[in-house]
Structure 1
Amino acid sequence: MLENGYVLPTVAELLYYHKKGIRSIHESSVNEELSEVVSRVNNILAKMELEQLSFVEHVEAESEHPQMISRRAFFARIGSNSKNTVLTSLTPIKWRFNEHSFKTSNLFKGWSFFKIKLNHEDCTLCKACFMICPSDVFRIAEDSLKLTDHNCCGCRLCSDICREKAVQITDNVHISEEESFSLVQANCKKCHTNFPSWKGAEELCPICSSGDKPNFFL
């Protein structure tokens, strides 16, 4: 799977390879950095009770060991349909346009790879995290705030933008779950618009209570 002069694969890439059927990594001289990445991947696979990756020094004939292949053999064996899919995803220049192919939550349905902790006592429901999140983790449905950790890609933009530091993201492989927080609708006495509230006791919406317009994206 790896040859001389290779670029060290990421955890997401190795999980992608695993999903495509790769179980062994051909590497005659395993370095410490690669071992660390593979160890992280195997810890994730172990939590999902899936077969782990291993290192092999020699690649046998494909007919005998179809799951132990070199990178050259990997591209040679895939058919025309799968070739288009895999090559498009693995080509470096295409990475930015095919990131969903490597998104771990898309590869392993029913599993979440990050834990989202929301401190609603500090959260002002300003919705900055809603707007900046690329994965639709946060959403308001009628009278509740839904957090879908399965969608989280671990970018941590939500925790970075939160001025109240009310959102925390940690690496945590677990069965997916959706967390729900109860909300009530309040009416701002200054701008007279309705806004979601934790208790309904707030007299001003987050924008009016801040004294100025939010500058999250300036």
Structure 2
Amino acid sequence: MGLLDKWVESLDYQYEVLPSCTRNKSPRSTCQSCLDVCEHDAITLENNHPFIQKEKCIECGNCIAACPVQAVAGIFPQRSVIDHKLLVSNEHVPTVKEMLVLYKQGVREIVSEDPSLTGSLLNVIEEANSILIQLGEDALKVSNKAIEKTEEVYSRRELFSLWKKEGKSLIKQAAPAKWRFNHKHLDVTKYYHNYQFTNISINLDTCTLCKACEILCDKKCFSITGTSFSIAAQACFSCRLCEDICPENAIRLEKRISAVKDIHYPIYKKQCCTCQKPFETIRENEEQCVSCTKRKGFLSSYESMV
């Protein structure tokens, strides 16, 4: 294959699921956000891993928007935005997550191409506005008026500046597709730094500080040091991997918008009353290490069976 052929091939792209997908990170993951939103059944599970069937995929971008960890890579379809107005139609309904991102990018009004808004589009607008209000923002306005594109007169300097911008846009479109992947732009948590979209709670009676949540969370929501167990939920968008993999079922997630609040639980250094070995615990009155506690529980169960 020649250089020209390779370059032409690089301009094309296909959606793909990255290794950062929670199902690729753990067989216990139950996330299926991409499957749930795909109206064309283009995504299936193969050996518990999501797989995109290229022949069915129409590259609508819904799976990209739905993924809580931005693990579906591709080029999200561009929207028409003129003078802070988003042009939409009943045929191509934007997602709520997309609306929240576009709001932070300057969109303040939604203009419908269709005379009447269908239920699906109205539902998206209502949900987006409800969330925006909770985030301390103004609601998006809705209009059915057409956007007028007035003819503009450019000075010589402005004309050259315009050509320069259009040239950069053309070069950008001619760049290899993977350079133009924009799936990470739909991480809503990066646009609303003062709020968190998920509440993470820990059952202090059962947590054993095994660090599984800390190791597997790409968003770095958990931090376990020698002195404290910290939870920072601002970056969390409820992939629920921590819930799925916790061996003690000690983690619970709740989708709820609230002001950012980091939580810190103290960690106590103890000496096991049974094996005399040092251990760490999140419970101040704990006197036995995890191994001895589980061994004791196993023996009690065995004796009751006998």
TM above 0.5, yes or no, is yes
Correspondence list, 1:32-71, <5 A: 32-61=119-148
- Aligned twin of 2:204: 120
Deviation track 1:82-133 (CA, whole Å, cap 9, x = no partner) reads: 969xx99xx9x935xx42x222221012111111121211222222221221
Quote the Cα distance in structure 2 between the aligned partners of 1:187 and 1:197. Answer: 14
Aligned CA-pair RMSD: 3.4
- Aligned twin of 1:23: 108
Kindly state the Cα deviation for residue 19 of structure 1 after the two structures are TM-superposed. 0.6
- Aligned twin of 2:288: 203
Quote the Cα distance in structure 2 between the aligned partners of 1:151 and 1:187. Answer: 36
Residues 224 and 230 in structure 2, CA contact (< 8 A), matched pair in contact too: yes
Change over 3 Å in CA distance of 1:34–1:187 after alignment to 2: farther
Residues 228 and 266 in structure 2, CA contact (< 8 A), matched pair in contact too: yes
Change over 3 Å in CA distance of 1:38–1:164 after alignment to 2: farther
Residues 137 and 151 in structure 1, CA contact (< 8 A), matched pair in contact too: yes
Identity across matched positions, percent: 24
Aligned length: 186
Kindly state the Cα deviation for residue 142 of structure 1 after the two structures are TM-superposed. 3.6
**TM-score using structure 1 length:** 0.70
Kindly state the Cα deviation for residue 60 of structure 1 after the two structures are TM-superposed. 2.9
Structure index of larger Rg: 2
- Aligned twin of 1:2: 88
Quote the Cα distance in structure 1 between the aligned partners of 2:244 and 2:118. Answer: 34
Q: Helix, strand or coil: the match of 2:98?
A: helix
Change over 3 Å in CA distance of 1:60–1:200 after alignment to 2: same
Residues 185 and 197 in structure 1, CA contact (< 8 A), matched pair in contact too: no
Structure 2 unaligned regions, length at least 5: 1-86, 151-164, 296-306
Residues 266 and 282 in structure 2, CA contact (< 8 A), matched pair in contact too: no
**TM-score using structure 2 length:** 0.52
Give yes or no for the alignment of 1:170 onto 2:254.
Answer: yes
Quote the Cα distance in structure 2 between the aligned partners of 1:163 and 1:140. Answer: 16
Q: Helix, strand or coil: the match of 1:116?
A: strand
Q: Helix, strand or coil: the match of 1:18?
A: helix
Residues 137 and 148 in structure 1, CA contact (< 8 A), matched pair in contact too: yes
Give yes or no for the alignment of 1:94 onto 2:172.
Answer: no
Give yes or no for the alignment of 1:145 onto 2:229.
Answer: yes
Kindly state the Cα deviation for residue 200 of structure 1 after the two structures are TM-superposed. 6.7
Structure 1 unaligned regions, length at least 5: 64-78, 212-218
Kindly state the Cα deviation for residue 187 of structure 1 after the two structures are TM-superposed. 5.8
- Of stretches 180-189 and 133-142 in structure 1, the one that deviates more from structure 2 is 180-189
| One-letter amino acid of the counterpart of residue 49, structure 1 | G
Residues 113 and 174 in structure 1, CA contact (< 8 A), matched pair in contact too: yes
Change over 3 Å in CA distance of 1:83–1:53 after alignment to 2: farther
Kindly state the Cα deviation for residue 166 of structure 1 after the two structures are TM-superposed. 1.8
Residues 25 and 53 in structure 1, CA contact (< 8 A), matched pair in contact too: yes
Change over 3 Å in CA distance of 1:203–1:46 after alignment to 2: same
Deviation track 1:16-58 (CA, whole Å, cap 9, x = no partner) reads: 1101111222222322122222222111111122111232212
Residues 114 and 173 in structure 1, CA contact (< 8 A), matched pair in contact too: yes
